[in-house]
Amino acid sequence: MSDDNRIVMRRPIVEMDGDEMTRILWRKIKDTLLYPFIALNTEYFDLGLPERDRTGDAVTHNAADAVKRLGVGVKCATITPNAQRVEEYNLQQMWPSPNATLRALLDGTVFRAPITVRNIIPSVRTWRKPIIIARHAYGDIYKSVEMRAPGAGVAELSFTDPEGNKTVLPIHRFEGAGILQAVHNTDASIEAFARSCFRFALSSGQDLWFAAKDTISKRYDHHFKDTFERIFEVEFKGAFETAGINYYYMLIDDAVARVVRSEGGFIWACKNYDGDVMSDMVSAAFGSLAMMTSVLVSPNGQFEYEAAHGTVTRHYRKHLAGETTSTNPIATIFAWTGALRKSGEMDGGAALVDFANRLERACVDTVESGQATRDLQPLSASPMEVLSTDEFLTAIKERLAKA
């Protein structure tokens, strides 16, 4: 405890501010729910678009370096510029997505986790606990080379090593026109993905599922399967046994069938395309983007937490026009609690871990008591009182202060 009875943070975490409505929420969350209880200790980086533009995006790179150094970060949603944003903000250039930059610099995997509350019932009846999706974010069809075969001809797959030795495999002898696609992945990326998944499973105490189509894809998908198996056996098996959790490999079609019959409560690691598709399926079935958090985990065990949604531009325009908003802060609050809990776990800060748990409980209890922001009303199984952003934050604070 500090002199004023607030919880002390023994080590700083990286704080990355963002844009629009979520930047407004960021300030409100800190003022209402964090500062009164914690002597916040952060290294602050302003990833808001004006500052990224002013620094030539150096601020994003500096923030990533800080996450590498300090191990834990929390990030506000940020604008990924497009042509319209370049004009709106009078940008020097169309800066890349900060999330893509962070992911590349940390070599990390993104885990998306729904926040579940009793009165929002998932579309899949059996789901009682969250299903966390880990999507491999490199290669496969997202880095494919494609070609139209205009007519009859021979397609081949060829590889040339630095000495000029060539390996050539026939793909297909076309009788008429057709289409071709070549995809790749790298050992380094698959290994980093596997390590991030095993680390996150350990960190969250949940089973890990990984699925591919190794029966059909005997070199490509089989290599994913073998890589996961080898890294598990050599580096993680003991720790999984101690933690009482399991690793399961299965075929992707088998996994899909099992997932919809499961009660949830596990991590589902997906290849790039499967993750793209399945993360939207899982988040839609759980209810709302505003109730989805996300954490980027590097293979070296660095953690960066954020909400899965964007900067909620439509609400920001209303806010600027002086109208009252009802924007859901829960995913952003859970980004903070995720980072604070992780930081507490890393340095034995039990009070910080306890605070994070109590703040999450206060959010869930407030929604379960029937008070929430507008987005949750149509999803709720019981009558819901719609609060403004400020009223909702105050309701959470009152619960937290009582706890």
Binding mask 234-273 for ligand NAP (x = CB under 6 A): ----------------------------------------
Among 289, 356, 362, 396, binds ligand NAP (CB under 6 A): 289
| Among 68, 57, 75, 60, residue whose Cα is nearest residue 16 | 75
* Residue 270: its H or E element: strand 266-270
| Among 116, 104, 82, residue whose Cα is nearest residue 292 | 116
Instruction: Say how far residue 110 (Cα) sits from the centre of its chain.
Output: 4
**E strands of 185-259, at which residues?**
207-212, 247-251
Site for ligand NAP in 352-381 (CB under 6 A): 373, 375
Residue closer to Mg ion, measured from CB, 235 or 280? 280
Q: Taking CB under 5 A as the rule, does residue 88 contact Mg ion?
A: no
Among 77, 132, 359, 363, binds ligand NAP (CB under 6 A): 77
Residue closer to ligand NAP, measured from CB, 259 or 376? 376
186 three-state secondary structure: coil
Pick what 77 binds: Mg ion, ligand NAP, none; C-beta below 5 to 8 Å, kind-dependent. ligand NAP
Instruction: Tell me the C-alpha distance between 150 and 175, whole Å.
Output: 10
Q: How far is the CB of 13 from Mg ion (least distance, A)?
A: 29
Q: Taking CB under 6 A as the rule, does residue 304 contact ligand NAP?
A: no
Q: What is the DSSP letter of 41?
A: -
Among 34, 63, 79, 387, binds ligand NAP (CB under 6 A): 79
Q: How far is the CB of 324 from Mg ion (least distance, A)?
A: 32
Q: What is the DSSP string of 80-127?
A: ---HHHHHHTT-SS-PPPHHHHHHHHHT-EEEEEEPP-TTB--SSTT-
Among 42, 60, 78, 204, binds ligand NAP (CB under 6 A): 78
Neighbours of 323 (CB within 10 A): 10
Among 65, 191, 276, 354, binds Mg ion (CB under 5 A): 276
Q: Which residues bind ligand NAP (CB under 6 A)?
A: 77-80, 99, 289-290, 306, 309-314, 327-328, 373, 375
